[in-house]
């Protein structure tokens, strides 16, 4: 019989299966992402460094290089000081005010990267700067 209770009970059962599948797949995805990070940030750069290489070209056509990646952010606790530092160093134009004052993350990352590459002294803790060597694959 196709009563509302029967239909709802069926949906509850299906929802339970779906939730368990999602939890299982999320755990698998987390494991896969951690392994991928290990390969790109530790193992591949390590192999290139071990053999004194800056890049490698595989017989399958892929080219592997290692790039220094920079990750930045401004915490609320450092926002006033970070904005003052940016203004003092001629970078006040990257600060945006929409409904609140902010700096777009990719703009900040690019500016900080450029300053570091130019040898400028940047307050790393103020901008939560993290540098990583990451392998990149291209064809």
Supply the mean pLDDT for the chain: 91
Domain ranges of the chain: 1-53, 56-139
Residue 25 CA to residue 93 CA, distance in Å, equals 43
pLDDT, greater one: 134 or 38? 38
Sign of CA dihedral 17, 22, 23, 29: positive
Give the pLDDT confidence score for residue 136 in this predicted structure.
Answer: 81
Whether the per-residue pLDDT at 50 is higher than 90: the answer is yes
Whether the per-residue pLDDT at 34 is higher than 80: the answer is yes
Tell me if the pTM is above 0.75.
no
Whether the per-residue pLDDT at 1 is higher than 80: the answer is no
Q: What is the pLDDT of residues 92-106, one digit of tens each?
A: 999 987 667 788 999
């Amino acid at each position: 019989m196709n009563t509302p209770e029967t239909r709802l009970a069926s949906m509850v059962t299906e929802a339970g299966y779906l939730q368990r599948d999602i939890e299982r797949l999320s755990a698998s995805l987390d494991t896969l992402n951690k392994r991928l990070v290990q390969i790109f940030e530790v193992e591949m750069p390590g192999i290139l460094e071990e053999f004194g290489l800056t890049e490698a070209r595989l017989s399958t056509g892929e080219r592997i290089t290692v790039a220094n990646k920079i990750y930045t952010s401004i915490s609320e606790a450092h926002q006033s000081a970070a904005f003052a530092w940016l203004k003092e160093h001629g970078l006040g134009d990257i600060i945006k005010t929409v409904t609140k004052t902010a700096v777009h993350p990719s703009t900040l990352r690019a500016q900080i990267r450029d300053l570091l590459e130019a040898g400028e002294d940047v307050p790393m803790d103020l901008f939560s700067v993290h540098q990583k060597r990451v392998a990149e694959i291209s064809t």
